Structure 1
Amino acid sequence: MTSRVTLVSAAVSEALREARFDDGSPVDASGLRAVRAAADAGAVPRGDRVWLSPTVRCRQTAQGLGLDGATEVPELAGLQVGRWRGSTLGEVSAAEPEAVARWLADPLSAPHGGDSVREFCDRVAGCLDSAAELGGRLVAVVEPEVVRALVVRALGAPESAFWRLDVPPLTATEFSGRAGRWNVRAGRPLEGRA
């Protein structure tokens, strides 16, 4: 059975603009304008089900896009960074340069007390497998790192590739196939017809 999964990366927030580890900040004014423009342009993908990363900005993005009846899925939570939450990458790099270097180089490292990249990729990969079992079309509004992790797992790429994938706000990444074999179409902006 073929499944189709469209991941929509959440709209921009102040934390994202500042390269700040997620601190629960909402979508900012420009992000809300972009969400409304995408909705007005009819660029919102539709599905049989809608899932969300459990964050304020994912909820706001889904609501603004008119994706009603969305279900928050705890396994789609963003990368947990423990004590680094709320700090900028620059601040953490200045205070703990060796820890940051280790975290970026070793997928098993979690010096902040949160998820390692491997743990994170494993956690979110289960959601792609669940979507395949359900079949049909799924739309999920998620944090950018969730998109990265699922692309890594779907393509069987090494976890080191996680840091090499850029996921801009309000873009769609589409998966089609089934568990164990996915095709990926990445980075379509939500600005034209879906």
Structure 2
Amino acid sequence: MTLAPHGPPGLAPWAWEQPDVCEALRARDVGALLRAVQKYSGASPSLIAGAVGMTQARVSEIIHGRREVGRLDVYERIADGLAMPDDARHILGLAAARDRRDGGAAVDLAAFPEVVSVYDAQAAAREEIQRHGRTATTLDVLAVRGLGLIGLDDSVLRTHLARDDVRLRVLLLDPEAPGQVPAPAQAQPCTRACGS
């Protein structure tokens, strides 16, 4: 692969599909990811540093395992700097690239059959969320800053959940929280207390 003189040290499409790259993405192991970028593109730590907005010393620390990345904004900056394709971003746990987030679902839902819809803002999804809330017997909601979905008096779902036949599971993500994923907890069926 030929690198542009000052362009991002992106990988060829086939390189993003290599087992070591996919494993690094799944594990959120940025050191392994940056080593793979070096391996498959020939990029130096200096070129990588310039692309991802870090110092060369910081990139070297990450590559050699002396520093780890755990903040979402840093993952985003690295993904953007490496011109990471959306499939790789999804494996890393990120949304599609910013230039594809201009309305509607930006995620290729065929790659994630368990995901029904992805929206940038609650207002864009209000009607569909309420339609599902009126008819569903089970609702699984994953939301970032999503208390307006279920927690407030004028929430999107609250009035539609006042039924005895609905099971609700909600995972609210805090974008300011550390980037580590806790061990999954045993899901508990929703009781009337969930809607109060």
By relative contact order (CA 8 Å, sep 6+), the higher-ranking structure is 1
The question of a shared fold, defined as TM-score above 0.5 by the shorter chain, is answered with no
TM-score normalized by structure 2? 0.29
Name which one, 1 or 2, has greater alpha-carbon Rg: 2
Which of the two has greater strand per residue?
Answer: 1
TM-score by length of 1: 0.29
